[in-house]
Structure 1
Amino acid sequence: MTIWKAAGCAMAGNAAPERDIRPPSGINAALGRAAGQVASVCRRWPWYVQVLAVWALARIFSFAVFVAVAAQQGLNPWGWEGTPSYLQFIGAWDSEWYQRIFSDGYPSAIPRDETGRAQENPWAFYALFPGVVRVLAAVTGLGWEVLAPLVATAAGFGAALMVYRLFALRASSGTALWGVVFLAVSPVSPVLQVPYAESLNLLLLAASLYLLITCRYLLAVPVVLVMCLSRPVGVAFALMMGILFLRRWALRRQEAFPRPEAVQMAVLTAASGVGALTWPALAWAYTGDLRAYTDTETAWRGDTLLVFNPWFVEAERLFGPVMGPAALIALVALVVICLLSEPVRRLGVEMQVWCAAYAMYLFAFLNPLTSTFRLLLPLFPLGLALAALSSSRAYRPAVALGFLVLQIVWVAWLWRWTPLPGGGDYPP
């Protein structure tokens, strides 16, 4: 009797007749050994090679998802006949607005209807991403269709490297890498390779947080100012800086706060406030309309800009007049509990306060729709907290696998045009 047969009989507790009981085919064992060897080799790679490899694999997966979903695309407002190509498919939705800015710039007057209400127009989309593409187009002679996805994808790779450096300030190299993995495969991560400004904003935001945490406040000033021209995150960043400065000042007797550092931090705080107001001020200066930007933003809402109100309206619409407010209170409580949890506190006060400030910004100004999922990307430090939640060998791969599945759901549900009964479709 072989050792494996004997072990099988002993486990059964009787002397059953010998059967051909073998270890699960040597293929599984061989695969396990091969996987272990590959992992061992990968761990010896420099950190940046590991990060780039993870990001490349994730983007290839997203590419495959886009191509597979594009094959299911039917009638659509973009006039595609047959199956759209990958570049056509990712050039939909807000990519069209950025392409208009690339080609025609911004209007000198806000378009309004007969009642004076602003209509949808390019001023809702910040200038940095289409501006970078336009400069590269002038240098290379290539068009939007090629350059815009390349810029977005390249910025995503840069963001991955910057996010790892940021995470490595607060966690071991392995946990920091898993934090990048969670970001790379997150349900909305496909947007980091389409002609949107998200990947460029993510790169600049991660760099700003890195410079802040390493106390290089003056170096952070130009990065923050440029970041404020990529996506509307300036208000949240200025709020975070104000909170951090006041905290340091209040604790100056317990924690040293040298005058030079205080001055530099104050400069960064003030610059963040200026950056937050820069785009609305540019819209005002160019159009001569003080409310050019705010009115444009409300054009997508169909009502006036009232802070916090859209959340109450949507909660009541989805859950009713009684359960709606209760659901909203439960959501706020859940967010607070998350931000005060031990894994989030281990991120350090800067990333913790950033996540809180950005959550407050969303709650104050966001009109919660399906695009909310995409707008959660600046909360990327929570990916590190999620990675640090458990070091189980099963936990982290399971989370990553779940994210990959949800990525398919996000692209198939929101990126693919599926007309609603009343017309239109939910935006990604």
Structure 2
Amino acid sequence: MSARQDAARRWARAPWWAQSLLVWAVSRIWAWAVFSTVGRQQGPGPWGDGALGYLEFTGTWDSDWYERIAREGYPSSLPRDGSGQVQENAWAFYPVFPLVVRAVSAGTGAGWDVAASAVSLAASLGAVLLVHRLFLRFAPPATALWGLAFVAFGPVSPVLQVPYAESLHLALLAGALLLVVRGEHLAAAPVVLLMCLTRPAGVPFAAALGITWLVRSVRRHRAGELRRAVDAADGLLALAVFTCAAAMAWPAIAWAVTGEPRAYTDTETAWRGGGGLVPVVPWFDAAAGLFGPALGLAAPVLLVAGAAALLRARAVRERLDLLTRTWLACYAVYLLLFLHPQTSTFRLLLPLFPLALPLAAVSDSRAYRVACVVSGAVLQLVWVGWLWHWKQLPGGGDYPP
């Protein structure tokens, strides 16, 4: 047996958590190299007059908002301009991540950059472990590990180690899916609550739970397992109802503190120039701006058709369970209804991470899988170089990551 074959056999026999740890370590080192390389090319901008170090560079953009929340909390009244329009403010950012960082900073004496980066990095490790554990329920160990690598080296995965809430949310989302798949609905409740207070994904998660419960109940009824409607009430239904309440918690808190019922939604739409929350239409507006009026009408329709075909693909149906597929559909619909498409959309696709598993399962060719991982790693340079690197636009500002 050659040394290479022996090493491969030892790697295959390693505990799943050790494999996760190695994938996490290599992917985080690569992301550090990407940020460090791009940061050294930075010119004058809002965060400095020239090249930025790793912590300085990753502490830009929305990290400023989280730092302000950790230090000052949330405003008791919404800032408005002269015409009464709500301005950008902290209520758009959910509280769990900045509060965790504040606690770590208070306990260790570390500044924001160090404490926030450490929290994100630790959360990314938790996310990798939980994603791997979830994938192991749906696929053989080798395929599950490759699926994990696809997530860890994905084009936007560098965001998992910057002072944003993405890594913490990914860990909580993967943990919630894993617990529900196991049938541990009571244990999932606190995880779901924290998830709903970390990033705005509670509504699609509640919908996914409710639809899954309904489909399972219909199947049980047809199989003769349900004699009375009351028999359908179970832990999954209770968790779905609880998640609905948890999803509304942050808008309700914003209302209670500011006294304005639409405090959260008005704050969110402030980044769009105001005008209120209009479902779906922004996708057509953005497509028209990119492709012109004719193709702009067709592009969102084609996007929806492509997404539907993807979710019905054989690899997706064979590798993912009903709940996970329903989550993918509900989150995609949520983005279609409420997202204002822009450059930040790329990182908002991260909760669709379960698609990495069927993507890895499409072929067991090592060349194919390595090519996917390498492609993701290279695209990280494109994503960070394009969006994190500040470049003044002619009209002012820059595209946000």
TM bin (shorter chain): over 0.9
Relative distance call for 1:72 and 1:257 in structure 2 (3 A) is: farther
Indicate conservation of the 8 Å contact 2:217/2:232, yes or no: no
Relative distance call for 1:257 and 1:73 in structure 2 (3 A) is: farther
Aligned to 1:75: 44
Other structure's SS at 2:301 match: helix
Determine which of 408, 415, 427 is the counterpart of 2:381.
Answer: 408
Other structure's SS at 1:252 match: helix
- For the pair 1:264 / 2:235, whether they are aligned, the reply is yes
Which of the pair has more CA radius of gyration? 1
Give the drift of 1:260: 7.2
- For the pair 1:350 / 2:323, whether they are aligned, the reply is yes
Aligned to 1:40: 9
Relative distance call for 1:260 and 1:155 in structure 2 (3 A) is: farther
**1:261-302 deviations in Å (ceiling 9; x for gaps):** 732122101111001100000100111111100000000011
- Aligned 1:206-285 pairs, distance under 5 A: 206-255=174-223, 256=225, 262-285=233-256
Determine which of 12, 27, 37 is the counterpart of 1:58.
Answer: 27
Aligned length: 396
Give the drift of 1:34: 4.7
Higher mean Cα deviation, 88-97 or 137-146? 137-146
- For the pair 1:49 / 2:18, whether they are aligned, the reply is yes
- For the pair 1:421 / 2:389, whether they are aligned, the reply is no
Other structure's SS at 2:186 match: helix
Q: TM-score, normalised by structure 2?
A: 0.96
**1:187-216 deviations in Å (ceiling 9; x for gaps):** 000000000000000000001101111111
Higher mean Cα deviation, 156-165 or 107-116? 107-116
Give the drift of 1:82: 3.5
CA distance in 2, matches of 1:298, 1:394: 45
CA distance in 2, matches of 1:301, 1:93: 17
Q: TM-score, normalised by structure 1?
A: 0.90
Give the drift of 1:41: 2.4
CA distance in 2, matches of 1:401, 1:34: 24
Give the drift of 1:393: 1.8
CA distance in 1, matches of 2:269, 2:108: 37
CA distance in 1, matches of 2:106, 2:26: 31
Determine which of 147, 170, 175 is the counterpart of 2:115.
Answer: 147
Aligned to 2:341: 368
CA distance in 2, matches of 1:382, 1:288: 41
Relative distance call for 1:89 and 1:35 in structure 2 (3 A) is: farther
For 2:253, the aligned partner's letter is L
Give the drift of 1:81: 3.5
Other structure's SS at 2:356 match: helix
CA distance in 2, matches of 1:89, 1:311: 31
Unaligned runs of 5+ in 1: 1-31
Relative distance call for 1:261 and 1:162 in structure 2 (3 A) is: farther
Give the drift of 1:60: 0.2
Unaligned runs of 5+ in 2: none
- Aligned 1:153-164 pairs, distance under 5 A: 153-164=121-132
CA distance in 1, matches of 2:4, 2:39: 33
Give the drift of 1:348: 1.1
Indicate conservation of the 8 Å contact 1:248/1:257, yes or no: no
Aligned to 1:136: 104
For 1:359, the aligned partner's letter is A
Determine which of 261, 268, 283 is the counterpart of 1:297.
Answer: 268
Indicate conservation of the 8 Å contact 1:152/1:195, yes or no: yes
Q: Percent identity?
A: 54
CA RMSD of aligned residues (A): 1.5
**1:350-373 deviations in Å (ceiling 9; x for gaps):** 110000000000000000001000
